[in-house]
Amino acid sequence: EIVMTQSPATLSVSPGERATLSCRASQSVSTNLAWYQQKPGQAPRLLIYDSSTRATNIPARFSGSGSGTEFTLTISSLQPEDFAVYHCHQFDKWPGTFGPGTKVDIK
Protein backbone atom coordinates (compact mmCIF):
# COMPACT_ATOMS: atom_id res chain seq x y z
CA GLU A 1 0.00 0.00 0.00
CA ILE A 2 1.26 3.45 -0.91
CA VAL A 3 1.71 5.69 2.13
CA MET A 4 0.93 9.37 1.72
CA THR A 5 2.41 12.03 3.97
CA GLN A 6 1.52 15.71 4.15
CA SER A 7 3.31 18.71 5.55
CA PRO A 8 2.88 20.77 7.52
CA ALA A 9 0.22 19.29 9.75
CA THR A 10 -1.08 22.79 10.45
CA LEU A 11 -0.47 25.96 8.46
CA SER A 12 -1.38 29.32 9.98
CA VAL A 13 -1.97 31.94 7.32
CA SER A 14 -3.46 35.42 7.22
CA PRO A 15 -6.29 36.14 4.77
CA GLY A 16 -4.87 37.32 1.47
CA GLU A 17 -1.60 35.48 1.92
CA ARG A 18 -0.31 32.54 -0.10
CA ALA A 19 -0.47 28.99 1.25
CA THR A 20 1.71 26.14 0.03
CA LEU A 21 0.85 22.59 1.07
CA SER A 22 3.01 19.53 0.38
CA CYS A 23 2.16 15.90 -0.21
CA ARG A 24 4.59 13.03 -0.64
CA ALA A 25 4.01 9.45 -1.80
CA SER A 26 6.08 6.48 -0.63
CA GLN A 27 6.49 5.44 -4.27
CA SER A 28 5.75 7.02 -7.62
CA VAL A 29 2.08 7.66 -8.41
CA SER A 30 2.80 9.46 -11.70
CA THR A 31 0.26 12.32 -11.79
CA ASN A 32 -2.58 10.23 -10.33
CA LEU A 33 -3.02 12.55 -7.40
CA ALA A 34 -6.05 14.50 -6.19
CA TRP A 35 -6.60 17.17 -3.55
CA TYR A 36 -9.77 17.59 -1.49
CA GLN A 37 -10.95 20.34 0.82
CA GLN A 38 -12.91 19.37 3.94
CA LYS A 39 -14.67 21.73 6.33
CA PRO A 40 -15.92 20.62 9.77
CA GLY A 41 -19.00 18.43 9.54
CA GLN A 42 -18.86 18.35 5.75
CA ALA A 43 -17.83 15.87 3.09
CA PRO A 44 -14.54 16.32 1.25
CA ARG A 45 -14.81 18.38 -1.94
CA LEU A 46 -12.68 17.61 -4.96
CA LEU A 47 -10.39 20.55 -5.79
CA ILE A 48 -7.67 19.17 -8.05
CA TYR A 49 -7.23 15.91 -9.96
CA ASP A 50 -4.48 14.49 -12.14
CA SER A 51 -2.09 16.57 -10.00
CA SER A 52 -2.89 19.90 -11.65
CA THR A 53 -6.39 19.96 -13.17
CA ARG A 54 -8.93 22.07 -11.31
CA ALA A 55 -12.30 20.42 -10.78
CA THR A 56 -15.49 22.10 -11.98
CA ASN A 57 -16.25 25.47 -10.32
CA ILE A 58 -12.98 25.54 -8.36
CA PRO A 59 -11.52 29.06 -8.28
CA ALA A 60 -8.28 29.79 -10.12
CA ARG A 61 -6.52 30.68 -6.85
CA PHE A 62 -6.18 26.93 -6.27
CA SER A 63 -3.39 25.27 -8.24
CA GLY A 64 -1.66 21.91 -8.07
CA SER A 65 1.66 20.66 -9.33
CA GLY A 66 4.03 17.74 -9.12
CA SER A 67 4.57 14.22 -10.36
CA GLY A 68 6.09 11.02 -9.13
CA THR A 69 6.35 11.33 -5.36
CA GLU A 70 6.26 15.08 -4.66
CA PHE A 71 3.17 17.26 -5.01
CA THR A 72 2.13 20.77 -4.05
CA LEU A 73 -1.19 22.52 -3.59
CA THR A 74 -0.97 26.31 -3.69
CA ILE A 75 -3.68 28.73 -2.69
CA SER A 76 -2.55 32.05 -4.09
CA SER A 77 -4.55 34.42 -1.88
CA LEU A 78 -6.44 32.86 1.00
CA GLN A 79 -10.08 33.78 1.31
CA PRO A 80 -12.09 33.33 4.54
CA GLU A 81 -13.87 30.30 3.08
CA ASP A 82 -10.55 28.53 2.38
CA PHE A 83 -9.77 27.79 6.02
CA ALA A 84 -10.24 24.03 6.13
CA VAL A 85 -8.41 20.70 6.06
CA TYR A 86 -6.81 19.63 2.78
CA HIS A 87 -6.27 15.96 1.93
CA CYS A 88 -4.17 14.50 -0.85
CA HIS A 89 -5.16 11.17 -2.41
CA GLN A 90 -3.32 8.83 -4.73
CA PHE A 91 -5.36 6.75 -7.11
CA ASP A 92 -2.49 5.23 -9.05
CA LYS A 93 -2.53 1.90 -7.20
CA TRP A 94 -5.41 0.04 -5.53
CA PRO A 95 -6.31 0.67 -2.79
CA GLY A 96 -6.26 4.41 -3.17
CA THR A 97 -4.76 6.05 -0.09
CA PHE A 98 -5.04 9.43 1.54
CA GLY A 99 -2.67 11.68 3.41
CA PRO A 100 -3.36 12.67 7.02
CA GLY A 101 -4.41 16.16 5.98
CA THR A 102 -3.10 19.69 6.43
CA LYS A 103 -5.21 22.07 8.46
CA VAL A 104 -5.12 25.65 7.20
CA ASP A 105 -6.17 28.01 9.95
CA ILE A 106 -6.30 31.72 10.50
CA LYS A 107 -3.14 33.37 11.75
Partner 1 sequence: QVLLQESGPALVKPSQTLSLTCTVSGASISSESSYWNWIRQPAGKRLEWIGRISFTASTNYNPSLRRRVTMSVDMSKNQFSLELNSVTAADTAIYFCAREEFFGSYLIDWGQGTLVTVSS
Residue 33 burial (CB count, 10 A): 29
Distance CA 38, CA 83 (A): 9
Residue 81, helix vs strand vs coil? helix
Q: How many CA atoms lie within 13 A of 75 on its CB side?
A: 28
By CB under 8 A, name the one of 24, 45, 54, 61 that touches partner 1: 45
Nearer to partner 1, 68 or 91 (CB): 91
Given a contact cutoff of 8 angstroms between Cβ atoms, the answer to whether 78 and 14 are in contact is: yes
Which one of residues 29, 49, 71, 82 is an interface residue with partner 1 (CB under 8 A)? 49
Q: Identify which range of 18-26, 46-54, 62-70, 73-81 contacts partner 1 by CB under 8 A.
A: 46-54
Q: Is there binding between residue 24 and partner 1 (CB under 8 A)? A: no
Instruction: For the CB of residue 52, give the shortest distance to partner 1 in the complex, in Å.
Output: 13
* CB 55 within 8 Å of CB 48: yes
Q: Say whether residue 95 binds partner 1 (CB under 8 A).
A: yes
List residues binding partner 1 (CB under 8 A): 1, 4, 32, 34, 36, 42-46, 49-50, 55, 87, 89, 91, 94-101
